[in-house]
Structures are given as structure tokens and as C-alpha cells.
Amino acid sequence: MAERSKTPRHVAIIMDGNGRWARKRGLPRAKGHEMGAESVRAVVRACRDAGVKYLTLYAFSVENWIRPKEEIRGLMRLLRIFLSKHEKELHDNKIRLRVIGRIADLPKDIQKELKRVGRETEAYRGGTLVLALSYGGRAEIVDAIRQLAGKVKKGELDPRRIDEETVAAHLYAPDIPDPDLMIRTSGEMRISNFLLWQLSYAELYVTDILWPDFREDAFKKALKEYAHRHRRFGNIE
């Protein structure tokens, strides 16, 4: 019983450092992203092996749209490749694919693919892979507020009855439990607008390893460290 709770149910990752990984090798940034996609596959597998039920990956932020057009094109191209290459693995391992973010901002063909794969893996219970795409924590809260305000305006919701549960129920993936562990690679000590609401009580783990080098061993090390954390949730002891 106690042992079980030492494996996080939900791990969220800020996959950072692709550009620096490439620069260190004198390679174009795109190569770093390409190798980063391999880390995604490795970590999905490691989650399955460790019994982590939910994995959320920050793949593209709302702020990332300010990057050079060519880099964005390259990232979208990789996303297409990832979806087509990874789909079989999702089916084989009974993993459900979900997305959070302003999905309507993405190229139409990618939206269609995400919807299709999401639908076709919907019934699986082997685990859930959540891709955060065109995602921003503030944008998510704004989108929730818009929905709530709309309901209030129509007289469907009494503002005095809005509580934390109501707000949480209007976020992008209300059925998914909050992350237990948040990992950020490449050493940056910041949240960068990731899951602002949901990370309230997540354990934070930052490693200097750059995302393309973050593979199974590095992931296992993070899980090991998590197992030693003492979560108090505001209580004593």
C-alpha cells in the first residue's frame, strides 16, 4: 500500500534543452528537436514499465509561436512524424492519447490527426499520454473563465456556487488527476506557464540533463528521488 503510493500516478515534464543540445554539437536546432522526439518515446515506455498512469508532456507553449517560422514549421513536421510513427505503439500498449491547449491554433491536418488518434485510443486503459500543444497555463485559466462567465450570463450558474471544483471542471482535461511529479530538464528553475493550476502540490524535480539526453535511466532516477519526498499538503509531519 505505502509502496504503491511511491510511484507517481501522474508525471508532467517540461521537455527543455533541445536547442542547447544541438548547439553543443554544432548541429542545427532542428536536430535537437529530432533527438528530443526519441526521448519522448523512451519516456513513454519507461512510464509503462514503472506503472505511471498519466504522462503529460509540454511539447509546445502558446509563447513558442513567437519563435522563427522555420523552427515552428520544423516542430510541426516532427509532430506529424511522431504521430504517425508512434501510433502503433499506442495501440500495442493500450495507451490513450489526449491533448491540452489551444488546439485550434495548430495546422488543420495535425488537428485532424490528433482527433482521430484520440478517438481511436479513447477506450484504452494502459495509460494516458497527454500532449500539451499551444498550451499556456494562463490561457487555460482564461478559457475556463470564459466558459464560466458564459454560464453565469445564461443564468445556468450562480457565481456564489463557484468553488475550486467548479473551476477545475472547466479546465482542458478535468478528468485527469493533478500531476504528482513535475520534471524539468536542462536546469531552468521555472514553470514557464505550464499547468499553473494543476501543479499546486506537485513535487518539483529539475535536472541539468538536456531533453535529448533524458532517457530511461534519467527518468528512473527522478522516480527514485520522488519516492523519497515527503508530501505534506499543508498538514503537519
Point out the residues that are catalytic.
16, 64
Which of 8, 10, 11, 16 lies at the binding interface for ligand IPE (CB under 6 A)?
16
Would you say 119 and 96 are in contact if contact means Cβ atoms under 8 Å apart?
no
Residue 93 interacts with ligand IPE (CB under 6 A)?
A: no
Segments of the chain assigned E as strands: 10-14, 54-61, 95-100, 127-135, 181-184, 203-206
Which of 37, 44, 59, 130 lies at the binding interface for ligand IPE (CB under 6 A)?
59
Q: Which of 15, 10, 63, 14 is nearest to 38 (CA)?
A: 15
Partner whose footprint covers residue 111, from ligand IPE, Mg ion, none (CB < 5 to 8 Å by kind): none
Residue 207 interacts with ligand IPE (CB under 6 A)?
A: no
Would you say 195 and 56 are in contact if contact means Cβ atoms under 8 Å apart?
yes
Partner whose footprint covers residue 93, from ligand IPE, Mg ion, none (CB < 5 to 8 Å by kind): none
Query: DSSP characters for 151-169?
Result: HHHTTSS-GGG--HHHHHH
Residues in 9-38 that interact with Mg ion by CB under 5 A: 16
Q: Are strands 95-100 and 54-61 parallel, antiparallel or unpaired?
A: unpaired
Residue 102 interacts with ligand IPE (CB under 6 A)?
A: no
Q: Which residues bind Mg ion (CB under 5 A)?
A: 16
Question: What is the binding site for ligand IPE (CB under 6 A)?
Answer: 14-20, 58-61, 64, 75, 186, 188, 190, 192, 211
